[in-house]
Every structure is written in structure tokens, then in C-alpha cells.
Amino acid sequence: MPQWNCNCPNCRAARKSGNFLSQSSAAVSADGKAWLLLNASPDLVTQFAAFPLLTPRGRHLRGSAVQAVVLTDGELDHTIGLLSLREQKELRLVCTRAVKTLLTAEFPLLPTLGKYCHIRHSVFPATLAGLRVTALEQPTDKAPPYSRRPARRGEVAGLRLASLKTRRSCVYLPGLPAITPVLDRFVSGCDCLIVDGTFWSETEMNALGLSRRSARDMGHVPVGGPGGSLEWLRRLDIPRKIYTHINNSNPMLQKHSPAQRAVLRAGVEISRDGQTIRL
Ligand SMILES: [Zn+2]
């Protein structure tokens, strides 16, 4: 936010205040030295530049503290940044087989990137950078718009990342197509839950005249209302709960709006660029 071609109230306010929000991505580390990148956003280059711990160190001319990139899905806003990582010799990539198929057969990002650097792919569970990464394949019938095929199992995953040393864990769910009992078990006992806050309401994009599709049509449970994710978060006994992946149309981004107040009152945080979470 602001989206380059958007004149909605939130984008106008962001241009005025300078409080910009880049696209959703996160880096996680067990020791502050070796990092995993969770999704590769189109804003990756500026996100890296703003976070000194990812700066190359040591005597080598080239290098990165990022040991691997872990993908939750094959959507453009989570994968386009991979192209900006082409300057390294080898890219370690962790994603489901279904996501790898999307990025090979439907949107040939990996074959293209493979011409620039060697791609070493592995699936879940994975142990990397002192972290155990497990995935939950979430039920979805929404394939990415570029795909010619109906959605398949494994195209949207939630991640649970646990430190091998401290056992502290975080669940990363930037896409929330449904709230299920299996998901409840997956998040149970974690220290921090970072979750999809794309839309406030089912009809938010329709009301602004931006889309005819509803939030759930686009694969996102909305935050507000009955059956929304805020209702779900309220009943979860998890110390830190944080919304991420928030669309520029979402009223909870407006300071002191009823939507923002409802989220904060429920003890849920609204993520911001550069936010550090220590567990
Ligand atoms: Zn906007």
C-alpha cells in the first residue's frame, strides 16, 4: 500500500502519510545468523535492503544469510521475488509438489529461473537453519488465476516453524481458505500465529467497485463478521496473534477505524513493515 494504480481511501492516506506497506513476506531464524525466507514477494529487494541481518557478511564477495526460500503457495505475490534471487549459484527451495508443479507447468517460473541458477527443491517436512518446518495442506478449490487446471491438494499450505533448540514455534498462514478442525490442531500450542488478513469483509472489493468476486471466492476467509477469522482468533489460546497479507482495501488499516479497534481489542496485532517478532 499504496498500490501503484489505486486511488482508494487507504492508498490515498498512505501516499499522504508516507506509511507504506510492502507485500507480504517474512524471514525467520533460530540464531539470528541463518535465515529462512517465507515467500518471495515482488518487493523482496527493498525488504532485504531494509533488514541488515540479511546483508552478506564474511570474506566472500557474494553470499547470503538466507539458506532457503519456503513457499506457502504459487500465487504471484509470493513467488515473483524468486526472479530477483537469480544472481546466486544455487537456490534452495522448499514447497509442496503441487506448488512446484504450478510453478513449472502452469507458470514456468522455475524452468526460467533454472537457466540462471541451480534450483534444489525439497518437500515438507524440512529441517533447515536450526528450524523444523512442517506444512499443513489446506483445503482449497481456488487455483491461481494463471492455472488452466482446477485446484489440487497442496496448492495452499500453512507452515509451522519450530526452533530445534528452544522448541518455540510459530505458525505462518498468509493464506486462509478455510477454518477447519485440522487447522485448529495444527496451530495448537504455538507461541505465535501469523495469519491472513487480506479482507475485512466478504464484499469489501464489491463495495469499492474493485471486483465482483467475494473474499472467499478469492480464497480468503474475511477477518470480520460471523465465521470470520477474528472470531476464530478470539477463541485460540496463543500468546501472539498477528494479521499479515492485508489488502490495501481493508478498513482495519485505517487508524482508529471500527475495524481496527475490533482487531486490537481482541488482542490481535496488525503487522507492519520491518516488524520484529522475538519468541
Ligand atoms: Zn487502494
pLDDT tens for 57-79 read 878 888 899 999 999 999 999 99
pLDDT at position 208, please? 78
pLDDT at position 213, please? 84
Count Cβ atoms below 10 Å from residue 187 Cβ, excluding itself: 20
**Cell numbers standing for residue 52:** 541488515
pTM value is 0.95
**Cell numbers standing for residue 222:** 474475511
Q: Phi and psi (nearest 5°) for 181?
A: -60, -35
**257 Cα to the center of ligand 1, angstroms:** 16
Burial letters 10-35, b for 16+ CB under 10 A, else e: bbeebeeeeeebebbbbbbbbeeeeb
**2 Cα to the center of ligand 1, angstroms:** 6
- Asked whether the beta carbons of 99 and 133 are under 8 A apart, the reply is no
**174 Cα to the center of ligand 1, angstroms:** 19
Count Cβ atoms below 10 Å from residue 100 Cβ, excluding itself: 20
**10 Cα to the center of ligand 1, angstroms:** 6
Please spell the DSSP secondary structure of 75-118, one letter per residue: -HHHHGGGGGGTTSSEEEEE--HHHHHIIIIIS-HHHHHTTTSE
Residue with cell 498512505: 14
Residue with cell 498462514: 173
Q: Phi and psi (nearest 5°) for 187?
A: -90, -15
Q: Which residues contact 43 (CB under 8 A, 6 or more apart)?
A: 22, 23, 25, 81
CA distances 245 to 117, 119, 238, Å, are: 29, 27, 20
**247 Cα to the center of ligand 1, angstroms:** 8
**Cell numbers standing for residue 143:** 487455483
Residue 192 pairs in a beta bridge with: 170, 240
CA triplet 234, 235, 239: central angle to 5 degrees? 75
- Asked whether the beta carbons of 174 and 138 are under 8 A apart, the reply is no
**198 Cα to the center of ligand 1, angstroms:** 12
State CA 251 to chain mean position distance: 20
**103 Cα to the center of ligand 1, angstroms:** 28
**221 Cα to the center of ligand 1, angstroms:** 20
**246 Cα to the center of ligand 1, angstroms:** 11
Residue with cell 472470531: 231
Amino acid at 114: G
Which is it for the CA torsion 145, 38, 243, 124, positive or negative? positive
First CA to last CA across the chain, in angstroms?
28
**138 Cα to the center of ligand 1, angstroms:** 28
**190 Cα to the center of ligand 1, angstroms:** 33
- Closest by CA to 177, choosing from 139, 212, 228, is 139
How does pLDDT run along the chain (279 residues), one tens digit per residue?
Answer: 999 999 999 999 999 999 999 999 999 999 999 999 999 999 999 999 999 899 888 788 888 999 999 999 999 999 999 999 999 999 999 999 999 999 999 999 999 999 999 999 999 999 999 999 999 999 998 899 999 999 999 999 999 999 999 999 999 999 999 999 999 999 999 999 999 999 999 888 777 777 788 888 888 899 999 999 999 999 999 999 999 999 999 999 999 999 999 999 999 999 999 999 999
